[in-house]
Structure 1
Amino acid sequence: MRVADIQLAITDEQWRDAQTIWDYHQMHHELRPCDAAIGLGSHDLGVPVYAAELYHTGLFPTLVFTGGPNPTHPERFPRGEAVHFREHALELGVPESAILLEPKATNTGQNISLSQEVLASAGRKVRSVMLIAMPYMERRAFATCRKLWPDVEVVCSSAPLEFNGYVKVIGNEKHVIDMLVGDMQRVIEYPKLGFAVEQEVPEEANAAYDRLCRAGFDTRLIKS
């Protein structure tokens, strides 16, 4: 039995469609040393936990945490995502001297642009950057960074979780699929608005997205 089968009557086809979109969002970049890393704001502590793990492997010397209060769940990190993420990373052994803070961003574009400013103000010369994001957000983060910071080499990473594993962590199957669909919409639409570079969308991923939208997985969609 899949996670949350008791909570929601999600069909096998919908589950397969969600898996297809999950796979598309993953960039599958090979991890390699970078001049700095940016831990993007999110609704849980997965990003700082994985960022601390990667820091301890020596992949980057500087780590920026970025994000103000979470717009969807402001109660989870009332002092802002970046502040809470920094505190958690310190608890996990990342030294204070390695962490920079960007506490104002409210969207992914600001995560990138404001973190770039923080790094420059700190005198960090960045030719390569690792973006540490939620697993379903890798592709959107990559496309956004390529648009706003085109001269930097980008490596995307996220906690190595399979789709089933991430659903278990979050604990709500419908909510996870809604987030996958919402990010898919942004990957498709944001280049038209100048927010990101265009990404090729395979036919099977686009069809899965359309079916899930029609089935009502739409709480994270941007309304036109």
Structure 2
Amino acid sequence: MPVTTDMQRAITDDQCRRARLIWDYHRMDHALRPCDVAIGLGSHDLGVPAHCARLYRAGLFSTLVFSGGPNPTTPERFPEGEAVHFREHALALGVPAEAVLLEPKARNTGQNIAFSRAVLADAGTDVRTVLLVSMPYMERRAYATARKVWPEVDVICASAPLEFDDYLKTIGDEQLVVHQLVGDLQRVIEYPKLDFAIEQDVPEDVRVAYESLIEDGFDSRLLRA
């Protein structure tokens, strides 16, 4: 595990317990099955294209779109944009170039899906089922957004099969992950009011965990009025 710095300091056991509740809520636990296409949603996490490569080798899809422009959280990580670097990573892991389409302009999840839909339409790809591959804690928001933006297709969500503690180790910054968990949950709650996503039920214990982590200062990814 990377050395912890002041900016990457460990979270407490109680914060970890509350964050794990939110993590579990974000995971959709969909049963995987073959789909017409997959969309790798841009982020700061190369675990997304790596998992796309695993799912491609497993035969779950034949066409893959990587979507995403510059990353707003860590722009220096992917200077050419998320989709470009994700494609490079997937090709290095054995996904053939002809299987990958590129959508390099999206700046949010709604655009990821809408712009990828347009790319697929331009390619003449018939889509009835789509596999959304994202970071683990982004599954629910991706699902809710896709059901709003592209209601005609069946949506299945997937992410690297990691437990919370293991994911913390892969990222190397526990505080960053908790900030992201909280921010994504706020979007699950608030985006339906803005007509960006469908409504999702949020259990009371998850809401309590969310509100208490905000009180603890995990608010850097919150939407501001």
Normalising by structure 1, we get a TM-score of: 0.96
- What residue in structure 1 maps to residue 181 of structure 2? 180
> What is the distance in 1 between the residues matched to 2:45 and 2:146?
22
- Counterpart of 2:209 in structure 1 is 208
User: What secondary structure does 2:202 align onto?
Assistant: coil
Alpha-carbon distance in 1 for matches of 2:114, 2:141: 14
Identity of aligned residues (%): 67
In the alignment, is the contact (CA less than 8 A) between 1:4 and 1:173 conserved in 2? no
**AA partner of residue 80 (structure 2):** R
**Cα distance per residue 1:181-212 (max 9 Å; x no partner):** 00000000000001000000001101100100
| Residues 166 and 9 of structure 1: CA distance in aligned 2, closer, same or farther (over 3 Å) | closer
1:218 maps to which residue? 219
- Normalised to the residue count of structure 2, the TM-score between the two structures is 0.96
Deviations 1:153-205 (CA, angstroms, capped at 9, x unpaired):
00000000000011001111111100000000000000000100000000110
- Cα offset for 1:223? 1.0
> Which 5+ residue runs of structure 1 have no aligned equivalent?
none
Amino acid at match of 1:94: V
Letter in structure 2 aligned against 1:14:
Q
| TM-fit CA distance, 1:4 | 5.6
Give the 3 Å change call, closer, same or farther, for CA 64–35 of structure 1 in structure 2: same
Aligned to 1:194: 195
- Is the contact between residue 9 and residue 173 of structure 2 (CA under 8 Å) also seen in structure 1? no
- The residue that corresponds to 2:13 in the other structure is 12
Match in the other structure for 1:103:
104
Q: CA RMSD in A?
A: 1.4
Mapped to 2, the partners of 1:151 and 1:4 lie a distance apart of 45
Q: State the distance in 1 between where 2:10 and 2:93 align.
A: 39
Please tell me whether the aligned partners of residues 102 and 114 of structure 1 are also in contact (alpha carbons under 8 angstroms). yes
Q: Does the CA contact (< 8 Å) of 2:42 and 2:83 recur in 1?
A: yes
Find the aligned partners of 2:195 and 2:34 in 1 and give their Cα distance: 30
Query: Distance in 1 between the 2:218 and 2:95 partners?
Result: 38
Q: Secondary structure at the match of 1:10?
A: coil
Output one character per residue of 1:28-67: Cα deviation in whole Å (capped at 9) or x when no partner. Answer: 0000000000000010211110000100110001000000
For residue 88 of structure 1, report the CA deviation from its aligned partner.
1.0
